[in-house]
Amino acid sequence: MACEIKTWLMVLILIFSANYLQQFVNGKSQVPCLFIFGDSLSDSGNNNNLPTSAKSNYKPYGIDFPMGPTGRFTNGRTSIDIITQLLGFEKFIPPFANINGSDILKGVNYASGAAGIRIETSITTGFVISLGLQLENHKVIVSRIASRLEGIDKAQEYLSKCLYYVNIGSNDYINNYFRPQFYPTSQIYSPEQYAEALIQELSLNLLTLHDIGARKYVLVGLGLLGCTPSAIFTHGTNGSCVDEENAPALIFNFKLKFLVDHFNNKFSADSKFIFVNTTLESDAQNSDGFLVSNVPCCPSGCIPDERPCYNRSEYAFWDEVHPTEASNQLYAIRSYNSHNSGFTYPMDIKNLVEQEIEMELDFTSQLSASS
């Protein structure tokens, strides 16, 4: 009997995955629009034509993606791609660099590989779009949406129903704080002070986003930065995580979670913020079905035309810092539908999109100032 139930459960799970994950759902999406801010964890092609070394629009990137290499920094879909599908969108959200002909009313992806909260973070990799510039790009889109919808009021009402996904900050550590040979931040700031400075800057950006209509926010915390193959290799720890790199990122996460509480109180019924914790300890230690979690699927880190591992779903990491699609799937499903407040706080994305928002502020002045 127990065995039969188990088999049926497996069948249901398979049907569920087939419907929700392998293809797009037909019908209405749960939010009319999705705007994405972030770095390489979410980029879907914004860096392709930028003067930067942070690119991934070549093989073997995209080996498991229907359109091949697109500028996604993984073998298949990113986490936010999968969340987009779980939300019922019929297409992926187009990158800002490539919105010509796309329906901007459904949302835009501004994320740029190597980008940070701090503008100087990406300097060593060339020009990419830092968080502040991503917001400037969003202002352009908001103005276009306002003219499409024939009025600020209608645009404001429309934009308040969208979901705003912000997943950024890893590079402010990996490419900045942890690289004293290029940046002085680790001499200037203690880990506590650095996290505070990042959160301050992020919160100013979130207030700007609020001024131009955002009401429902998903703020994603940092992963275990000391457990990437790159950190493990650089520190020569023979496969174990680097605690000195995990600890500063965890401080950032606690402050981000605190910011979520702060904003939820400050804005009350006007806006809703959630925090997504991507550092479940189990992820670090070969569990969750990943047999290999401390070396990447590409032995050389996915250089052009490199031959990647065969069993990609057994690897947590695709290249030296980026998760495989299999890991992304795990994060996406947990962010979307998790009853565990250790993972999504104070609610999951599924609940967030069902929240009613009571608008209090008028953003007419900000919008006309930026257009």
Ligand X SMILES: *[C@@H]1O[C@H](CO)[C@@H](O)[C@H](O)[C@H]1NC(C)=O
Binding window for ligand X (CB under 6 A); candidates: 3-11, 111-119, 212-220, 253-261: 253-261
Indicate which single residue of 244, 281, 354, 358 sits in contact with ligand X (rule: CB under 6 A): 281
Say how many C-beta atoms besides its own lie within 10 A of residue 9's C-beta: 10
Indicate which single residue of 22, 181, 238, 265 sits in contact with ligand X (rule: CB under 6 A): 238
Binding window for ligand X (CB under 6 A); candidates: 56-64, 181-189, 194-202, 276-284: 276-284
Q: Which is nearer to ligand X, 125 or 277 (CB)?
A: 277
Instruction: Provide DSSP, 173-216.
Output: IIIIIT-TTT--HHHH--HHHHHHHHHHHHHHHHHHHHHTT--E
Q: Which is nearer to ligand X, 27 or 101 (CB)?
A: 101
Question: According to the binding rule CB under 6 A, does residue 299 interact with ligand X?
Answer: no
* b/e code 75-114 from CB counts within 10 Å (16+ = b): bbbbbbbbbbbbbbbeebbbbbbbbeeeebbbbbbbbbbb
Question: According to the binding rule CB under 6 A, does residue 338 interact with ligand X?
Answer: no
For the chain, what is the radius of gyration of the CA atoms?
Answer: 20
Clarify whether 261 is annotated catalytic. Answer: no
Among residues 29, 39, 40, 283, the one annotated as catalytic is: 40
Question: According to the binding rule CB under 6 A, does residue 100 interact with ligand X?
Answer: yes
Find the helix or strand (DSSP H, E) in which 17 lies.
helix 2-17
Q: In whole angstroms, how close is the CB of 13 to ligand X at the nearest point?
A: 19
Question: According to the binding rule CB under 6 A, does residue 239 interact with ligand X?
Answer: yes
- The angle at the Cα of 212, spanning 85 to 119, to the nearest 5 degrees, equals 85
Residue 292's DSSP bridge partners are: 315
Residue pair 290/314 in contact (Cβ under 8 Å)? The answer is yes
Question: According to the binding rule CB under 6 A, does residue 339 interact with ligand X?
Answer: no
Binding window for ligand X (CB under 6 A); candidates: 60-68, 127-135, 211-219, 279-287: 279-287
Residue pair 111/131 in contact (Cβ under 8 Å)? The answer is no
Among residues 43, 64, 283, 319, the one annotated as catalytic is: 319
Q: Which two tokens stand for residue 49?
A: 């034509």
Question: According to the binding rule CB under 6 A, does residue 294 interact with ligand X?
Answer: no
Return d(Cα 132, Cα 127) in angstroms, integer: 13
Q: In whole angstroms, how close is the CB of 40 to ligand X at the nearest point?
A: 22
Residue pair 209/138 in contact (Cβ under 8 Å)? The answer is yes
Q: In whole angstroms, how close is the CB of 277 to ligand X at the nearest point?
A: 4
Binding site for ligand X (CB under 6 A): 100-101, 238-239, 253-254, 257, 277, 279-281, 310-311, 314, 342
Active site residues: 40, 319, 322
